[in-house]
Amino acid sequence: MTTLSPEESHHLSVVLRKRAGDEIRLSDGQGRTFLGVIETLSKKSAVVRLQELLPAAVLNGRLLFAQALLKGEKMEFVLEKAVELGVATFSPFLSSRTVVEWKPGSDKIHRWRKIAEAASKQCGRSLHMKVDEPVSFEALVAKAESEVKIVFWEEATESLRLFFGNRAKALQGPTQTVAILIGPEGGFSKDEIDFAVRHGFAKLSLGPFVLRAETAALTAISLIQYELGNI
């Protein structure tokens, strides 16, 4: 038996309108998903009897996604969609054209992690997306360690499809990683692109049009997951 939190119990009874006797799926966030049956349920408490461990979805490669801080609700939108698209790690960063101010110890990081956890449960992910503390662009790039590293830039000319070629076949293992960078509303400066290239990043294009940062993020994630065979 396992007892759910008041928040989860409220979601089950009020939002999902579940009842005692209904089957549900529960994830521990560490890669395991169980099939369970609700024994008792109220708006504040739920007890679930676990029946079996379900097979976990296995993705090709691990996508490490880094997003420059965005204004308003754009950041939360991108974060939520990154969860749904199977991103393994979400790394916010501050670049030279970032408009948003970041104060160390901000409560936003806790909110982002709660959003990621809720989105993981909503889309049935057994392994929750990791959300890092924001760092500077330079620190992020300098410490990046991945088999493939990509920075998307509106002035780049090489396409993702041309770049990947046969690379996707070498990234089929679950531990192989692809790291990608998406800039803020104003994009990356040329100095930042040069810095990333010196640290092993390939500069790639997302097409002939200038995309909003949040559109670029979803496009880049989706295309790479497609190349890896996850979509």
Q: Identify the structural domains of the chain with CATH numbers, from first to last.
A: 2-54 (2.40.240.20), 62-228 (3.40.1280.10)
Most confident residue range from 17-21, 48-52, 112-116: 112-116
Question: Average pLDDT, stretch 88-100?
Answer: 94
pLDDT over 90, % of the chain:
49
Q: What is the rounded average pLDDT for all residues in the chain?
A: 85
Can you give the pLDDT at residue 48?
Answer: 74
pLDDT grade, residue 5 (50/70/90)? confident
Q: State phi, psi for 125 to the nearest 5 degrees.
A: -80, 130
**Interval 12-33: pLDDT, tens:** 677 777 777 777 676 665 666 7
pLDDT over 70, % of the chain:
87
Prediction pTM value: 0.81
Q: When comparing pLDDT for 1 and 133, which is higher?
A: 133
Q: When comparing pLDDT for 177 and 27, which is higher?
A: 177
3-state helix, strand, coil in the chain (%, to 5): 35, 25, 40
Asked whether the beta carbons of 4 and 48 are under 8 A apart, the reply is: yes
Copy the structure tokens of residue 20: 């005692």
Q: When comparing pLDDT for 174 and 194, which is higher?
A: 194
Residue 72 has pLDDT above 90, yes or no: no
Can you give the pLDDT at residue 199?
Answer: 96
Contacts of 208 (CB under 8 A, 6+ apart): none
> What are residue 94's DSSP bridge partners?
136
Can you give the pLDDT at residue 113?
Answer: 92
Can you give the pLDDT at residue 213?
Answer: 94
Residue 81 has pLDDT above 90, yes or no: yes
Can you give the pLDDT at residue 158?
Answer: 92
